[in-house]
Amino acid sequence: MLLMLSAGVSAKTYQHELGTAELSAPPKKVVSLDWVLTETLLTLDVAPQAIADVSGYQEWVSLPVLPEGVVDVGSRREPNLELLAQLKPDVILMSKHLAPAYEKLSAIAPTLVYSVYSEKKAPYQQAEVITRQLGVLFEREAKAEQVIDATRERLAQNGQRLKTAGMASHPLLIVRFIGDKHLRIHGEGSLAQNTLARMGLKSGWAHETNLWGFSSAGMEKLAPLQQASVVYFGPLDEQVQQTVFNTPLWRAMAFSREKRVYELPAIWSFGGLKAAERLSEQVTQRLLAGQQS
Amino acid sequence: MASGRRGAGLQYVWISGGMFLLLGILFYRAAPYPLNAGQWLSAMFSPDVTDYRQIIVHFTFLPRLVMALLCGAGLAVAGCLMQYVLRNPLASPTTLGVAAGAELGLAASLLFVPASLGIGHYWFAFLGGVAATLLVFLLTAKRGFAPLQMVLAGMVVSLFFGSLNMMLLLIHEQQLTSVFIWGAGALNQNDWQGVTALLPLLLFPAGILVLLLRPLSVLQLGEEVASSVGVKVAHLRVVSLGLGIFITAGIVSQVGIIGFVGLVAPALAKLLGARHLWSRLLLSSGVGALLLLIADLVIQPLSGVGGELLPTGAVTALIGAPFLLWLLHRQAFVSSLKAEEEPIRHYHPRSFRMLLTVLSVMTIGVLLLATVAGNSQAGWQWTVSETLFDLRLPRVLVALLAGMGLALAGTVIQRVTGNAMASPEVMGISAGAALALVLGAMAGWTVQRIEQMALGTAGALVVMGLIWFSGRRHRFAPTQMLLTGIGISAALDAMIRIAMSSGQENLKALLTWLSGSTYLVAGQDVILMLAGVVVIGGALLLLQRWLDVISLGEVIAGSIGLSCQRVRQALMLLAAMLTALATIVVGPLSFVGLLAPHMARSLGQYSARQQLVVACLLGGNIMMLADWVGRNVWFPWQFPAGLLASVIGGGYFLYLLRK
């Protein structure tokens, strides 16, 4: 009933990954159930009414800063349907990884499905596409183009800076430590590798990766690639750091002996354009700073 | 006689020769680098630190293999000891809650213990494992540590701790990614520290065990005999189980959960002809060490395929399960698995009518509460709008019906198999449905609700077919059916654990469904469940005489003209259908099916009809209440009904045990 009423005069039809949805443009009350989409909304200066897992966003994605007063609708896996129904949003945004709930959500409000991470395994490109789509949805096409261009430019610039500083010779291994014995190494299909490619840098990891663009491996898998430099996502548990960096294996590797190991701040490894930009900024800063010391 | 001996001896020569050859080939394949003999020697004893290949061999490859041997042997000894003391061939090192306790300890320490304290997380895992078991001991102390009670308490404590742990995982998914890898049992090592830490934790209990061998072996003659010759049975039981727990906790805290070795190795040792306790222990440890070593050698070269880690623990279960199924076809193994359960000594029947009235009133009360009362942004509300009612009612009703269905299924399975550890889960149906979904997600499929249900159904049907096929060969004998189910579930669970250890976001999205959630249910699910529960539940009530007679044993049942095979077949089919239905609608956590029948018994309901009805109402109430608590208490966050059911039902059951 509600849906038909709201779809009154200025209704438009939007294509998305699981079908089409009709809604009045531009929607005012937006709920985003996916962190990448939240990140993208905020880069377009659209403040969501509610998002899933507010504290998780603040800890793991951190930037762009979430404005005050955004309602928390619960976990990203099972956002609270009753609360959503009470919020009466104009549109709900989700990724297809929440597909089983699509039917339930679209009964509450028109629901649009956009996924940065999918079997296409080209998250950077996908993030640009989705930034444009959201730009159209919220009538911020110009802003979207500006974000896309600025990010591209930034990445190219950063790459150039590293090249002129002579820091682009070693391939980079972008990793996340999982406990003190395992790693996730970002490779083909990861935002990290896409970003490196746009910066004109080489990624050191050429092995098979999963849908999200990383491989899980033991530390010994780095040995044959020790000529590369290692960049790891922080913050890293102090204890893990102690254990890992003091193992004979780690100490024997070339990147550790030659002090080519760099820590990044919290950057969401499954983010969008903003995350890519931050990654490129941080990598550039760390590599240049490391060179000075 | 003599020639038989020599034949057997020759057989052993062949087997061990084959084993060495196999090990050699596997070792050669798994070795990370083709070093020559001299380099191997130096890599082993004095690695050349400038050659990273030698460093890898010395600090990762070799300690990992030693770890495999130690863990395999330790888990097998622990398993052997537990099966012996608890007199249940299905007992395994993790039975008494060790794994769940350790997992909770690890997760809690990762979240709440600051790294600056400098205490390794392993110690908290160890403490967690020991604490869980202490709880089991405390709960069963009053009953003199009776085996059946201990096994049950262990399972409930496992469920209880496991669900607390899952709640932590759901909130702190990102911080706890390492727990998923740990949960799949990865043997990766980066130095010899793991080995040196584990060794004393194994040698110390092993030393004590040697001292205990004599009194322990008297237990084989039965409790009465043992106590008449002056053995303090209860004390002995606690001490030896304590040793088993200590060993298990040590291993689990170091490398994570390694399935199956502790279950299969002792069974194999029995099959290989070890009769005395000491020979069983010794042979078990050898078999266990070899099994884990072989598994690890097979896995190492495969790791990295698809970008995944392939943790040894889970893969062991994957390999071990079909092996167990194959063993089931061997008569020797079958006969060695006679139920060694103790009969109930005291009955405390209570009025069925009274209980029925109380439970019916309670059901209506909980139904009303769950539908009307709800948390919101503005706080608790005791009225319900039409929109909210439409969202809420299907969840409440499906929770009720799923609880009822699973409780009925559980009652049937426990009566037919005569094993108190049996629950709808052990049939593997839930795991089958879950695996189908996980595989779908791994393949990157985007499934909506209806396709999700179709996938689940397909998985459940395949497993039902498998059980049917292998059940037919054994004339649906209960123990075999249970073992088949356990084998299948273990294999499927292992695959799920491997998938989860990959840490892919879309797989983690399945965690809530895997814990048994009513989140996705809609109106048509209610009708489906209602039809299923009414029709199958009605059929079970009509067949109550079968259920009464079948639990008296095959001989008695046969003597009054019941075809045991037919009856079992029919009853298990009904139970399987109920389980499949509930799983497809709310997900695979069917623990209510374990607890509700027991609760019905502890409330004094022994006949089939009474147990069915009471368990059914209890199951429905627990699930409804769990769903309500999960939806509201942590608003706007929600926890799956299955998890809360383990907490609520588990808590109540632990209270019952304590009495």
Over range A12-24, report the average pLDDT.
84
| B182–chain A Cβ distance below 8 A for any pair | yes
pLDDT band at residue B179, thresholds of 50, 70 and 90? Answer: confident
Over range A104-125, report the average pLDDT.
89
pLDDT for B19 beyond 50: yes
Among the partner-chain residues A179, A182, A216, the one whose CB lies closest to the CB of B307 is: A216
The pLDDT tens digits for B419-458 are 766 778 777 888 888 888 888 887 878 778 888 888 888 9
pLDDT for A48 beyond 80: yes
pLDDT band at residue B345, thresholds of 50, 70 and 90? Answer: low
Q: Do A209 and B307 touch (CB under 8 A)?
A: yes
Say how far apart CA B458 and CA A217 lie, in whole Å: 32
Q: Do A99 and B174 touch (CB under 8 A)?
A: no
pLDDT band at residue B335, thresholds of 50, 70 and 90? Answer: very low
pLDDT for B4 beyond 60: no
Over range B410-422, report the average pLDDT.
81
DSSP B10-61: HHHHHHHHHHHHHHHHHHHHH-SS---HHHHHHHHHS--TT-HHHHHIIIII
Please give the model's pTM, rounded to 2 decimal places. Answer: 0.85
Mutate to test the interface with A, among B302, B371, B377 (most CBs of A within 10 A): B377
Nearest CA in chain A to B514: A77
Chain-centroid distance of CA B594 in Å reads: 12
pLDDT band at residue B7, thresholds of 50, 70 and 90? Answer: low
Q: Do B121 and A239 touch (CB under 8 A)?
A: yes
pLDDT at B260: 79
Residues of A in contact with B520 (CB under 8 A): 100-101, 104
Say how far apart CA A210 and CA B307 lie, in whole Å: 6
Burial annotation B81-97 (CB, 10 A radius, 16+ → b, else e): bbbbbbbbbbbbbbbbb
Higher pLDDT, A40 or B261: A40
Over range B27-48, report the average pLDDT.
75
In this structure, the number of other CB atoms found within 10 A of the CB of residue B223 comes to 18
Say how far apart CA A159 and CA B655 lie, in whole Å: 64
Nearest CA in chain B to A268: B174
Interface of B with A in 217-276 (CB under 8 A): none
Q: Do B447 and A99 touch (CB under 8 A)?
A: yes
Residues of A in contact with B52 (CB under 8 A): 223, 226, 252-253
The pLDDT tens digits for B92-134 are 777 778 888 988 998 888 888 876 666 777 888 889 988 988 8
pLDDT for B3 beyond 60: no
Residue type, B496: I
Among the partner-chain residues B186, B505, B640, the one whose CB lies closest to the CB of A182 is: B186
pLDDT at A70: 92
pLDDT band at residue B344, thresholds of 50, 70 and 90? Answer: low
Range with the lowest mean pLDDT among A180-184, A289-293, B265-269, B385-389? Answer: A289-293
Over range B1-15, report the average pLDDT.
61
Q: Do B308 and A216 touch (CB under 8 A)?
A: yes
Peptide bond into A100 cis (omega under 30): no
| Pairs across A and B, CB distance < 8 A | 186
Q: Do A117 and B170 touch (CB under 8 A)?
A: no
**Inter-axis angle of helices A141-164 and A123-137, nearest 10:** 150
End-to-end CA distance of chain A: 66
Residues of A in contact with B177 (CB under 8 A): 178
Over range B592-619, report the average pLDDT.
88
Higher pLDDT, B418 or A195: A195
Q: Do B120 and A71 touch (CB under 8 A)?
A: no
How many Å lie between the alpha carbon of A87 and the closest alpha carbon of chain B?
Answer: 10
Interface of B with A in 431-490 (CB under 8 A): 442, 444, 446-449, 452
Higher pLDDT, A291 or B124: B124
pLDDT at A81: 92
Over range B630-640, report the average pLDDT.
90
Q: Do A178 and B391 touch (CB under 8 A)?
A: no
Say how far apart CA A108 and CA B388 lie, in whole Å: 11
Strand-pair partners of A113? A94
Q: What percent of chain B has pLDDT over 90?
A: 14
Chain-centroid distance of CA A66 in Å reads: 15
pLDDT at B367: 92
Helices within chain A (DSSP H only): 2-6, 35-43, 54-56, 81-87, 102-108, 123-137, 141-164, 191-199, 238-245, 248-252, 254-257, 273-292
The pLDDT tens digits for B239-269 are 888 888 889 888 988 888 887 788 888 888 8
